[in-house]
Structures are given as structure tokens and as C-alpha cells.
Amino acid sequence: MSHNRILPTKDSWKNLKEYHIDEEVGFVLPTPQEELPYPYDQWISIAKNLPELIDKNELRKEVEKLKMVGIDDLKDHKSQRLAHLVLGYITMAYVWNQGGEDVCEVLPKNIAVPYCELSKKLDLPPILVYADCVLANWKKKDPNGPMTYENMDILFSFPGGDCGKGFFLVSLLVEIAAASAIKVIPDLLNAVKCEDHNTLQRALRYIASCLKQAQEEFKQIHEYVDPNTFFNVLRIYLSGWKGNPLLPEGLKYEGVWETPKKFAGGSAAQSSVFQCFDVLLGIQQSSGEESSFKFLQEMREYMPLAHRKFLQSLESAPSVREFVISKGDAKLKADYNECVKAMADLRKFHLKIVAKYIVIPSKNKHKANSTSEETSEPENKGTGGTSVMTFLKSVRNTTEKFLLNVD
């Protein structure tokens, strides 16, 4: 990136590492594990062959043959994260199978029991979350090469060819670009505490440049993800069973709970990085639409526990916004506004992407099926279960309200 780097102090990194935040990739799981030992290798074997098994309509049969195994031998964090990713993929494939026309309402106990036990240990829900399919689902082709799309791949795929690779890796690169700014947060907060204007201004400019770079990375979605494939093939496998008419009662986890449970599918709202900068900049989504704020708060439960704790720690930190307002410095206000504007611009761009990848394909599908009584309303919901355009417009509008007047 073509901006001046601000290097954090060693002490500040001690604090960030406690929250599972990596110096290079932020909230992303660094160098994810790719294999699991016996007996968990049976899960890996199915997950690596999902598209082929689904295409042959053999996926459910293979899952039902799996032996029940406990999770006690999954001792380290990376093994547990890989297992959660793999079981999430298998669960989504089992439920939606060949695209949602033959939905399964019960997850068999040989998967449900270990999945729920592991989820409890990680304090994550038993469904494929953003922390799985984006943050822990990648590798470098050349370990010594750069973190670029060309040198990266995903560990597991759904049907839809390279569409999933494009969607997950572009999301990952957006995350990493924005996460570069996390390294200056401890020094930024210290600058507020010590009333060090110069360090604060440099930190704000660095954060704004990282957020702008995140939008540049986001633009790669046009190159690597086909709208029709995303909407008609991949999207169903990312959908959850909360607010979903295909599973109105939720999913029954056999051998775990007596009644079905409702969980939201993976969503960008589950990304810790953007909620992190909302909190840091004092952008209070609670001042906007109540339903949008409640959804964002709910999505924190789908984040890794350490990341949730980091957001909570930021909420109790000194207010950057109040400090900037209290000083009445036009240059400081302008630098703060650049950060808020970069957040708003990212959300505007996200709206355009949703229009291209969900709203327009939904309308096209509805036109093609216009003789049926089916409405297109469910199609305009995000994988997290919200009315996606309404939610994103609300979040964008609230973000813009936090721009400061500069005299």
C-alpha cells in the first residue's frame, strides 16, 4: 500500500495477540491447518469431495455412514477451527443437498453430536459461519509468495466451480486489507489518552487508507464471481435456518436437542473488522434502525469469542470521536471524517454488489417463474436471514450521520 506505515509498539502487540489478532492478517486465522488425524480424517475426505458427491446424489448416504467420534482429541485451536469448518461444510451440504429442492430437516447424530460439542467448546453456533468459510478456509499456493488472489486457494468448495473460491477469497482479501489498520489501534488510543495530536492524525490517515484499500480489494469480486452462479448455485449453501421459509421451524440436531434450532447463515455482518471500526470511530448503529442494530449485535455471537472480547474492550476505551470534537481542530476533524467516509463508501459499494448479485438475479428468476404463485421476497434476503437491502441502507445511512461538520 502506498501510504506511510505506523509501526505499533511491542507492548501494544502483546494486548492484540491475547484477542487472537495476528500482526499480518488481523482477525483472519493465520496459516490454517489443512488436515486432521484419524478418526477425523473421515470428515476431511467428505468435505474435499462435496461437489462430486452432491452431483452424484451420494452426499447424504456417505454422511450417514460416518462413524460417531468424540472431539476430545481435537486439542489445539487450529485443529478445532478446521474441524468446525469441515463439519460446517458437511452440514450445509447435507441440509441443502442439490440446491434446496430436497431440504433435510434433521441433521443425523453422527454429525450433529460432535459438531455441537465442538461448537460449544469454541463458543460458536453449529452452522457454517464467516469465521469458518472466510477466515479459516484459505492457503497460499507458494508458502513464500504474496497474499494475492493468484497465489491463494480455498481449502474446501461447494458446487458452482470457482464461484466459491472467488467469493471467499475476495472476502478474505477485503478483511486483510482492512485488518492492516488494527495494528495502530493501541497507539491511536494511547494518543487520545496523551493528547498526542500528531500520532492521532497519522493513525487516522493510516486507517482511512487501509479502508480505501479494502474497497479496492472488494472490486475483484466482479472479476472472480459470476452473479448468476452465485445467486442460483452457491448462495443456498451459505443460507441458514433462521428466517428461512425453506426451514421455517429450523434444523433438528439429532441426539442434541429435542426441538429444532434456528441459526443464521454466514454473513459479512459476522466480520469483526467492520464492527471494530464502527466502535473505534464511535459510529453508533444503535442510533439508526433498531432492527439493524439488533441484527449486528446478534451477529457478534457468530464471531470467535476472542474477537467478541476485543470489540467489548474497544467499547470501554476512550472515545476517539469525543476527543476529536472536544479539540475543535479542523484538520483533526477532516482526518476523522476520512475514516467515517471510507466506512460509508465501503457500505455503498456493498449495496451495489448486493444489487448485482442478489436483487437483479432475483428479479430475473421471478420473471422466468412469473406464471407461478411464488413471490420473490425470500430471494431478497441475505444469507444471514435479513432483508439485505433494507439492512445495508440503514447501516450506510447511520454511518454517514457520524460525519462531523468542519468549519
| Closest to 16 measured CA to CA, from 254, 151, 185 | 185
Q: What pairs with residue 22 in β-bridges?
A: 26
pLDDT digit string, tens, across residues 170-186: 999 999 999 889 999 99
- CA angle, 36 as apex, 132 and 162 as ends, to 5°? 45
**pLDDT at residue 387 is higher than 80:** no
SS3 253: strand
**10: in domain:** no
Quote the CA–CA distance of 153 and 10 in Å, as a whole number: 32
**167: in domain:** yes
pLDDT digit string, tens, across residues 300-351: 999 999 999 999 999 999 999 999 999 999 999 999 999 999 999 999 999 9
For 100, other C-beta atoms within 10 Å of its C-beta total 15
SS3 222: helix
Query: Per-residue confidence at 280, pLDDT binned at 50, 70, 90?
Result: very high
What's the pLDDT score for residue 63? 98
Task: List the domain range (segments joined by +) for residue 122.
Answer: 16-401
pLDDT digit string, tens, across residues 4-25: 444 444 444 457 889 999 989 9
Quote the CA–CA distance of 69 and 84 in Å, as a whole number: 14
Quote the CA–CA distance of 162 and 159 in Å, as a whole number: 9
CATH number at residue 54: 1.20.58.480
pLDDT digit string, tens, across residues 244-262: 999 999 999 999 999 999 9
Q: How large a percentage of the chain has pLDDT more than 70?
A: 92
**406: in domain:** no
Q: How many helices (H) and strands (E) does the chain have?
A: 20, 4
**327: in domain:** yes
DSSP letter assigned to residue 66: P
**8: in domain:** no
**pLDDT at residue 82 is higher than 90:** yes
**9: in domain:** no
What's the pLDDT score for residue 251? 98
Query: Per-residue confidence at 270, pLDDT binned at 50, 70, 90?
Result: very high
Domain count along the chain: 1
Q: What pairs with residue 140 in β-bridges?
A: 152
Q: Is the peptide bond before 39 cis (omega within 30 degrees of 0)?
A: yes
Q: What pairs with residue 252 in β-bridges?
A: 106
What's the pLDDT score for residue 185? 94
**144: in domain:** yes
Rounded to two decimals, the pTM is 0.92
Mean pLDDT across the chain, nearest whole number? 91
Q: Which three cell numbers stand for residue 124?
A: 460458536
Q: Which three cell numbers stand for residue 381?
A: 434476503
**39: in domain:** yes
**pLDDT at residue 33 is higher than 70:** yes
Quote the CA–CA distance of 227 and 278 in Å, as a whole number: 29
For 244, other C-beta atoms within 10 Å of its C-beta total 21
- H or E element at residue 205: helix 197-218
For 61, other C-beta atoms within 10 Å of its C-beta total 10
**pLDDT at residue 367 is higher than 80:** no
Q: How large a percentage of the chain has pLDDT more than 90?
A: 82
350 is in an annotated binding site: yes
Quote the CA–CA distance of 216 and 23 in Å, as a whole number: 21
pLDDT digit string, tens, across residues 60-73: 999 999 999 999 99
Quote the CA–CA distance of 304 and 79 in Å, as a whole number: 15
- Highest mean pLDDT pick, 97-101, 177-181, 278-282: 278-282
- CA angle, 386 as apex, 382 and 390 as ends, to 5°? 95
What's the pLDDT score for residue 274? 93
